[in-house]
Amino acid sequence: MHIAVLTEKRYVGDGAHSGKPPAYVANVLLEDRLVVEALTDEGCHVIRVAWCDKEVEWNRVDSALFRTTWDYFDRWSEFSLWLTRTAQSTTLFNSPEILFWNLDKHYLRDLASLNTRVVPTEFADCGDVRSLLSIAQSRGWNEVVVKPAIAGAAKDTFRIHVNTGAMFPASAMGYEALWTSLVERQDMLVQPFLPDVVNSGELSLVWIDGLVTHAVSKHAKTGDFRVQDDHGGAVRIHHIQPDEWSFATQAMKACQAHCQQLGWPEPLYARVDMVRDLEGAWAISELEMVEPELWFRHHPPAAHALAKALTRRMNQR
Q: What is the pLDDT of residue 230?
A: 72
pLDDT digits (tens, 9 = 90+) for 94-137: 999 999 999 899 999 999 999 999 999 999 999 999 999 999 99
Average pLDDT over residues 40-65: 97
Q: What is the pLDDT of residue 312?
A: 96
The sheet carrying 282-288 orders its strands as: 234-237, 211-219, 202-208, 269-276, 282-288
Q: What is the pLDDT of residue 171?
A: 86
User: Is beta strand 188-192 parallel, antiparallel or unpaired with respect to 122-124?
Assistant: antiparallel
Q: What is the pLDDT of residue 233?
A: 75
Beta bridge partners of 145: 159, 191
Q: What is the pLDDT of residue 86?
A: 96
Amino acid 72 reads Y
Residue 76 has pLDDT above 90, yes or no: no
**How many Cβ atoms from other residues are within 10 Å of residue 175's Cβ?**
21
Report the chain's mean pLDDT, rounded to a whole number.
93
Helices (H) and strands (E) in the chain, counts: 9, 14
DSSP structural state of residue 9:
G
pLDDT digits (tens, 9 = 90+) for 236-289: 999 999 999 999 999 999 999 999 999 999 999 999 999 999 999 999 999 999
Residue 91 has pLDDT above 90, yes or no: yes
pTM (predicted TM-score)? 0.92
Sign of CA dihedral 191, 193, 195, 200: positive
